[in-house]
């Protein structure tokens, strides 16, 4: 089994903060995410600067594209991103147009659990989904559960590469033991840590221990 | 019946283009939209600059917020926006957190037609929705229909203020005669016109003729 990749979600308030975190964790992570909030704040310059800092990593622009797939895909690709996110509420034409420009991950928020629609995504060449708990749902008290693990397994069985995010801490990784998760995405567990490098190494070591 | 308001969606590739259009149409429109693509490109500085140009208009930041409602709402409010969009796939806690910071419009994309969830939005103080055809669905050949008008009527009957967007041209306004639409939103019909002022005036005149 391939090792799951590790992604840092740089949901920072400005590009400088994101650069400061990335500098510390770069040797431990595989995917650099320019977070939605960061892109809202600083636009594509955030993506360009993170790409400049990490020329050999996968860079994800977490734009949660809902419409205008071509324009969105082109903008992010030209800024140096390898992947973008689309929201599950985007239409298939939007996702498909984006996928022609750049690799798309569909983020699974409310109303995602519709097998027919998901099969359409696969039929249109979209093979990545992001399974998660929203920040706000988590604040409202939700926890990772066996049901979440089952959902991830089912998505993998359908043929998706599945990334997992939302309150991801090193301790929750073992819940997914034996499940070929594509990428684990951690945000504030790393960006909010006193020692971001130590936490990112803890993630990477835990991945090696469980899947290695 | 109040006249529907007119909104220009400045889905431009950079802030300068948006400013150039807004300069020409400002006397005809009520709501200035910093488009999603524009915000992806230039971040909150786009919102700040449009606010500076139109101190007396309603400014909407079309961020299509899917998560992190508080952060998103605060960012947009601090940049000078009056309203933001949330995507229908956002969880209720996300929308509700955003609504505590700024007036929220929920954009109705795939999977929106769930009355229980919509009632939850109303119960959480969210009273605006945006009914539309996506750009990409439109490119794929969809047209405005009687069903769309019925859908808008039903949303108004539920208690929502409904904005209408997606391929909105002056000719389609009469389809909504007698329906108290809150705002009509036009993008490329105005931004792509040879004479944006003339088209925006055509919209405004048509609104007065039909609803006045």
Q: How far apart are CA A64 and CA B66, in angstroms?
A: 8
B chain contacts of residue A69, beta-carbon cutoff 8 Å: 136
Q: Can you name the residues that pair with B164 across neighbouring β-strands?
A: B131, B184
In angstroms, how far is the first alpha carbon of chain B from the final one?
Answer: 8
Q: What is the set of domains in chain B, with CATH numbers?
A: 5-211 (3.20.20.70)
Q: What token pair was written down for A61?
A: 């622009």
Say whether residue A117 is in contact with chain B using an 8 A CB cutoff.
Answer: yes
Give the best residue of B12, B37, B40, B71 to mutate against chain A (max A CB count within 10 A). Answer: B40
Spatial neighbors of A75 by CB under 8 A, at least 6 apart, are: A44, B37, B40, B41
Q: How far apart are CA B81 and CA B166, in angstroms?
A: 22
CA distances (Å), origin B70, targets B86, B117, B199: 12, 20, 37
Does residue A11 have a pLDDT over 70? yes
Phi-psi region of B138 (alpha: psi -120 to 50; beta: other; left: phi over 0): alpha
CA closest to A38 among chain B residues: B43
With an 8 Å Cβ cutoff, are A134 and B41 in contact? no
In the block, residue with structure tokens 């909105």: B168
With an 8 Å Cβ cutoff, are A89 and B93 in contact? no
Q: How far apart are CA A165 and CA A167, in angstroms?
A: 7
B chain contacts of residue A71, beta-carbon cutoff 8 Å: 37
B57 alpha carbon, distance to own chain's centre:
14
Q: What token pair was written down for A108?
A: 């699974």
Write out chain B's pLDDT in tens, 212 residues: 689 999 999 999 999 999 999 999 999 999 999 999 999 999 999 999 999 999 999 999 999 999 999 999 999 999 999 999 999 999 999 999 999 999 999 999 999 999 999 999 999 999 999 998 755 666 667 778 888 999 999 999 999 999 999 889 999 999 999 999 999 999 999 999 999 999 999 999 999 999 99
Q: What token pair was written down for B87?
A: 């995507």
| ipTM computed for the complex | 0.92
Q: How far apart are CA B72 and CA B80, in angstroms?
A: 13
Structure confidence at residue A1 (pLDDT): 63
What single string gives the DSSP state of each residue in B88-103?
TTS-HHHHHHHHHHSE
């Amino acid at each position: 089994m391939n090792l799951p990749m590790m992604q840092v979600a740089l949901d920072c308030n400005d590009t400088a903060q994101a650069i400061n975190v990335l500098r510390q964790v770069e040797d431990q992570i595989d995917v650099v995410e320019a977070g939605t909030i960061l892109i809202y704040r600083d636009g594509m310059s955030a993506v360009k600067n993170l790409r400049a800092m990490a020329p050999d990593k996968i860079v994800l622009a977490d734009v949660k594209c809902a419409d205008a797939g071509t324009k969105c895909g082109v903008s992010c690709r030209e800024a140096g991103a390898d992947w973008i996110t689309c929201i599950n509420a985007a239409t298939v034409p939007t996702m498909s147009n984006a996928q022609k420009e750049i690799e798309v991950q569909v983020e699974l928020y409310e109303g995602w659990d519709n097998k027919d629609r998901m099969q359409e995504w696969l039929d249109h060449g979209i093979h990545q989904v992001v399974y998660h708990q929203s920040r706000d749902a988590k604040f409202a008290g939700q926890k990772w559960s066996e049901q979440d693990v089952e959902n991830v397994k089912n998505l993998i069985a359908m043929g998706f590469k599945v990334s997992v995010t939302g309150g991801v801490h090193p301790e929750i990784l073992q819940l997914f033991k034996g499940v070929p998760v594509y990428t684990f995405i951690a945000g504030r567990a790393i960006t909010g840590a006193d020692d971001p490098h130590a936490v990112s190494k803890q993630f990477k070591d835990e991945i090696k221990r469980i899947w290695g």
